[in-house]
Amino acid sequence: MGDPGGIGPEILLKALARESGIGEILLFGSVRVLDYHARTLRISVPTNHIRPVDIDNIPVPYTGARPEESGRATIDYLEEAFRFLQSGRIDALVTGPIQKESWHQAGFHYPGQTEFCAKQADVHDYCMLMVGAHFRIALLSTHLSLPDALQQVRSNTIAAKIRLIDTEFRKLGFERPRIACAALNPHAGERGAFGSEEQTEIEPAIQKLRESGIMVDGPIAPEVVFRVAASQDRWDVILALYHDQAMIPLKLLDFENSANVTIGLPFIRTSPDHGTAFDIAGKGIANPGSMIYAIDLAVDWTRKRWEAGS
């Protein structure tokens, strides 16, 4: 459900109000909160394929930021969902938006739900992937300061991430994934004129990957790789080298038609590509597009894994 005071309950109910025919859906969250939003916003949700798993931890529904309540609540929702995953009762997971500050105040020091899911699944090799109508963009690093993110631009880190991308896309039925790696510096460094990372870190990694049979292009100047990817079917996925390098083009073109995926997990996990939007929570004006995209993507990619035998 996501943060009970944010737009998570509203966009979830709106997304589920459509007759999608995607099989049984389990809702992990507070039934009291969901009923409150359904009633006050007049959202009618079909019940024939939806089963709530009630985690009754919000005595009185509210809107807005209450980190002292929502931090523990959202962790409860996720932990219960993982109990179902680990017992084989669900096949994929879609997580609503949370406020990371609330987790910290509740004593949970994960950078985000991506890292929580990896920890719960006991996975160390994972990656945040943004999927939209125009792009599939994997991130070398996620929620780090820019100086810290630049420290991740190393040959071994880049090579490991691209190998993971290649492996995971093969599980989705891509026979030989076409991967592009964005450059770090302006004009891809101009052979050292504007930075050396392309020559010292990125190019050596890509050369070794090509020699191992992985199809990868780069480093390509970011303004080039995203412009080409937005208009041509040249690559299946792009590796961006830091958070905003990926998020700016994605949110510019695909904001309401995109979702976040954690690849490397033994199941498909997706989430909307936006936050809690406390300022509009409970007003009935939140756009459910990204939640709809996240649900449909989770179903589609789970089926693709089954069809590929993975």
Phi, psi of 268 (to 5 degrees): -85, 125
Residue 262, SS3? strand
- How far is residue 64 CA from its own chain's centroid? 23
Q: How far is CA 267 from CA 26, 94, 105, in A?
A: 16, 11, 29
Give 217-259 pLDDT, tens digit per residue: 999 999 999 999 999 999 999 999 999 999 999 999 998 899 9
Share of the chain above pLDDT 90, in %: 84
Query: Is 1.10.3720.10 the CATH classification of the domain at 125-258?
Result: no
Helix (H, G, I), strand (E, B) or coil at 120: helix
Taking 3-state DSSP, the helix, strand and coil percentages for the chain, each rounded to the nearest 5, stand at 45, 15, 40
Phi-psi domain of 195 (left: phi exceeds 0; alpha: psi -120 through 50; beta: other): left
CA-angle at 41, arms to 34 and 44, nearest 5°: 70
Nearest Cα to 270, choosing from 305, 237, 294, 287? 294
Using the predicted structure, report yes or no on whether residue 19 has a pLDDT greater than 70. no
Using a pLDDT cut of 70, give the percent of the chain over it: 99
Is the pLDDT at 153 greater than 90? The verdict is yes
Global pTM reads 0.93
Which part of the chain has CATH 3.40.718.10? 1-123+265-310, 125-258
CATH topology of domain 1-123+265-310: Isopropylmalate Dehydrogenase (3.40.718)
Cα pseudo-dihedral 63, 30, 97, 24, rounded to 10 = -140
| Contacts by residues 278-285 (CB-CB < 8 Å, ≥ 24 positions apart) | 278/5, 278/6, 278/63, 278/64, 278/65, 278/99, 280/7, 281/5, 281/6, 281/7, 281/10, 281/63, 281/64, 282/10, 282/37, 282/40, 282/41, 282/63, 284/10, 284/41
Give tens-digit pLDDT for 169-202: 999 999 999 999 999 999 887 888 888 999 999 9
Instruction: Kindly write down the DSSP assignment for every residue of 44-102, as one continuous string.
Output: ----SSEEEEE----SS---S--HHHHHHHHHHHHHHHHHHHHTTS-SEEE-----HHH
